[in-house]
Amino acid sequence: MDSGKLNENWNEVCNLVCGYEGVEPSQFKAFFYRLQPQAMSEGFLMLTTDNEFIKTWVERHYIELIRRALSQLHQGVPFMVAIEVDPSAAAAAGAVAAPQPSAASPFPAPVVSQPIQPAVPAAAPVAAQPDAYQPTDSPMPAAPVAEEPRSFPPLDFPTPGVTAAHAPIPEGPSSALTFENFVIGDSNRMAYSMAVNVAEQPGSTPLNPLFIYGKSGLGKTHLMFAIQNYIRETQPQLRTVYVDSSDLLADYMEAGAAHDKEKSSYKNFKTRYEEADVLLIDDIQYLQGKKQTLDIVFQIFNSLIGQRKQIILSADRAPKNIDIDERYHSRFSQGGTVDIQPPEIETKLGIVKSFIDEYKRNEGLDHFEVPQDIQMFIAESSSSNIRELKGAVTKVIYQMTVFQQTDLTVNDVRTLLENHFSGGASRNLSIEDIQKEVEAFYKVKHSEMVSKSRARSIAYPRQIAMYLCRQFLDMPFAAIGKKFDRDHSTVMHSVAQIEKMMQQNRDVQEEVENLKQIIREI
């Protein structure tokens, strides 16, 4: 079968699978991107993917549905489906190998992340790289100045399973947060892809360090634990260390307090992290202003990178927006830097469904269902914070099970969750509302606001409106851009421009604050 016909058949199969009951289209499409049809004959289909994780996941969750779709398309002929890992695909292209979809296909072409180099064989000596990774010239401080550690509420993670006898004792909390229960959408697909690549080949790709950033509750920590859990399962000989920046800071202060009694306290502090094969540091932005702790982190960072050991960092903002020395910016950004944007409605709906399915599995309630209109209401009403979304689902399930109110309506849920979602009235705002207020403020017609005009009297209010949409609404850049007849890059540029102007121009800052007040009162 020629490649064009093969890809056409594969697209038909995927369209059918997406329509089957219980299949979340966004989740399936994420794995479709990583599958490439190689050969097809009567009763047989060969697919390849670029890593073992995708192969195992598809075989576990989708293989029977793919066979069902093939049989449906070929008059009931039973099919055998084989999936193999193509090493050349993993080495040549880090993110995705997939057939080019036809024009009629609803599956968009995959977004390719940074190219991934072949993994360094375990036995191969690693050459030193003095030019690339110079250790800091900052001396080890004699004792740290008092730095207030940031307090965090305890995380509610399930108890980890028993570690294999031959494996090193893992450090940091284990959890049930895995790649398998991470809901994929347009807002997080690139971050997910990079995380999988790092988990497959820790320290052996250009994604070192991997820096994941985004607002709180979007899934950064989920991806970090997914990486850690996957490495523990597939490469138990590697030592993984997860630490929140507040715990790292507390460790450093503890080492300083013990320094007078035990001169090796600093050495022991560094050794814990420098002996890691994979080091994960969460919420790195909280180390800004903590110069001495950052100096130590910088030394650990250089030591691990020089040994080709993997570092994964997370923050609520991009490295360039963290108030730290420029040398940290350049180090943190030298590998893969990727953001997670607020989820689209489709992704939030997928997350709602996944929480409900998890509850059904845990409680053994196969026939329990939350009405579709209630699921959609939760997805549409919630902010981007996934923890808040899960809390809303939990409240609804509790009302239906504990109070046995199985006939809940959307109006009942609206009352139940009246004070649950953050953001107050802003959650009821639309892009159109913000456009209307900005147009009135600057005396601009709506037709001008969405026109192609670049006149400053039009372009400036348009940028202000885009900035305010980003501030008030948990929506991706692309979704905002559609309402202005622009693409996501234009919205990103506009937001950055207004942020810069607000720092430099007091008048712009006052205009924005006035508009914010007007919009809050809608």
The predicted-structure confidence for 478-491, as pLDDT tens digits, reads as follows: 889 999 999 999 99
pLDDT confidence of 235, banded at 50, 70, 90?
very high
3-state helix/strand/coil string of 462-487:
HHHHHHHHHHHCCCCHHHHHHHCCCC
491: domain range? Answer: 427-520
* pLDDT score for 295: 86
Contacts of 422 (CB under 8 A, 6+ apart): 383, 385, 388
pLDDT confidence of 100, banded at 50, 70, 90?
very low
pLDDT confidence of 262, banded at 50, 70, 90?
low
Contacts of 511 (CB under 8 A, 6+ apart): 441, 464
Q: What residue numbers does the annotated binding site cover?
A: 217, 219-221
Mark whether 238 and 375 lie in a shared domain: no
Q: Which of 38, 65, 92 is the last residue of a domain?
A: 92
* pLDDT score for 282: 94
Mark whether 282 and 332 lie in a shared domain: yes
CB 233 within 8 A of CB 205: no
Q: Which residue has the higher pLDDT, 243 or 57?
A: 243
* pLDDT score for 475: 79
Please give the DSSP secondary-structure letter assigned to residue 290: -
Structure token digits, residue 205: 């790709």
Give the integer Cα–Cα distance in Å for 349 and 346.
5
CB burial class (10 A; 0-12, 13-18, 19+) of residue 92? middle
83 phi and psi, to 5 degrees? -120, 125
CB 259 within 8 A of CB 265: yes
* Closest C-alpha among 319, 311, 316, 393 to residue 351: 393
Residue 197 lies in a domain: yes
The mean per-residue pLDDT over the stretch 99-105 comes to 36
Q: Report how many helices (DSSP H) and strands (DSSP E) the chain contains, helices first.
A: 21, 8
CA distance between the termini of the chain: 60
- For residue 199, the domain's CATH number is 3.40.50.300
Residue 258 lies in a domain: yes
Give the integer Cα–Cα distance in Å for 339 and 488.
14
* pLDDT score for 135: 34
pLDDT confidence of 174, banded at 50, 70, 90?
low
Sheet holding 36-41, edge to edge: 36-41, 44-49, 80-85
CB 248 within 8 A of CB 297: yes
- Interhelix angle 25-32/52-61, rounded to 10 degrees, is 140
pLDDT confidence of 124, banded at 50, 70, 90?
very low
Residues in the chain: 522
pLDDT confidence of 129, banded at 50, 70, 90?
very low
* pLDDT score for 224: 95
Give the integer Cα–Cα distance in Å for 432 and 465.
10
User: Of 17-26, 306-315, 338-347, 357-366, where does mean pLDDT reach its minimum?
Assistant: 17-26
Contacts of 224 (CB under 8 A, 6+ apart): 212, 242, 280, 282, 312, 314
Structure token digits, residue 222: 């989920």
Residue 142 lies in a domain: no
The mean per-residue pLDDT over the stretch 260-280 comes to 80
Q: Regarding beta strands 310-315 and 278-282, do their DSSP bridges make them parallel or antiparallel, or are they unpaired? A: parallel
The mean per-residue pLDDT over the stretch 26-45 comes to 79
- For residue 39, the domain's CATH number is 3.30.300.180
Cβ neighbours around 116 below 10 Å, total: 25
Residue 38 lies in a domain: yes
Q: Which of 77, 92, 107 is the last residue of a domain?
A: 92
Mark whether 444 and 327 lie in a shared domain: no
CA distances from 436 to 118, 129, 448 (A): 53, 56, 12
Kindly tell me if the per-residue pLDDT of 249 is higher than 50. Answer: yes
Mark whether 284 and 369 lie in a shared domain: no
Give the integer Cα–Cα distance in Å for 35 and 30.
10
The predicted-structure confidence for 362-398, as pLDDT tens digits, reads as follows: 888 888 999 999 999 898 888 778 888 889 999 999 9
Kindly tell me if the per-residue pLDDT of 335 is higher than 70. Answer: yes
Residue 367 lies in a domain: yes
* pLDDT score for 84: 86
The predicted-structure confidence for 445-491, as pLDDT tens digits, reads as follows: 999 999 999 999 999 999 999 999 988 886 788 889 999 999 999 99
Structure token digits, residue 211: 């820096």
CB 213 within 8 A of CB 234: no
* pLDDT score for 428: 67
The mean per-residue pLDDT over the stretch 160-176 comes to 47
How confident is the prediction for the chain on average, in pLDDT? 78
Mark whether 217 and 289 lie in a shared domain: yes
Mark whether 415 and 462 lie in a shared domain: no
Mark whether 285 and 365 lie in a shared domain: no
How large a percentage of the chain has pLDDT more than 70?
A: 78
Cβ neighbours around 507 below 10 Å, total: 9
CB 252 within 8 A of CB 245: no
CB 340 within 8 A of CB 219: yes
Sheet holding 278-282, edge to edge: 240-244, 278-282, 310-315, 210-213, 336-339
CB 389 within 8 A of CB 348: yes
Residue 68 lies in a domain: yes
According to DSSP, the residues that pair with 48 across neighbouring strands are 36, 84
Mark whether 298 and 333 lie in a shared domain: yes
* Amino acid letter, 291: K
Mark whether 259 and 367 lie in a shared domain: no
The predicted-structure confidence for 184-223, as pLDDT tens digits, reads as follows: 888 898 999 999 999 999 998 889 999 999 888 889 999 9
- Look at the alpha carbons of 514, 516, 520, 522 in this order and tell me if their dihedral is positive or negative: positive
- How far does Cα 467 stand from its chain's mean position? 22
State the residue for tokens 């507390």.
250
Q: Which residues of 339-364 are buried (b: 16+ CB within 10 A; e: fewer)?
A: bbbbbbebbbbbbbbbbbeebbeeee
Give the integer Cα–Cα distance in Å for 308 and 519.
50
Residue 454 lies in a domain: yes
- For residue 473, the domain's CATH number is 1.10.1750.10
Q: How many domains are there within the chain? A: 4
* pLDDT score for 422: 64
pTM of the model: 0.60
Mark whether 321 and 389 lie in a shared domain: no
According to DSSP, the residues that pair with 248 across neighbouring strands are none
* pLDDT score for 477: 87
Kindly tell me if the per-residue pLDDT of 356 is higher than 80. Answer: yes
Mark whether 437 and 392 lie in a shared domain: no
State the residue for tokens 């523990």.
232
Mark whether 326 and 355 lie in a shared domain: no
State the residue for tokens 């289909």.
45
Residue 438 lies in a domain: yes
Q: What residue numbers does the annotated binding site for ATP cover?
A: 217, 219-221
Element (H, E) at 280: strand 278-282
pLDDT confidence of 236, banded at 50, 70, 90?
very high
* pLDDT score for 126: 35
Radius of gyration of the CA atoms of the chain, in A: 25
Q: Which of 387, 422, 457 is the last residue of a domain?
A: 422
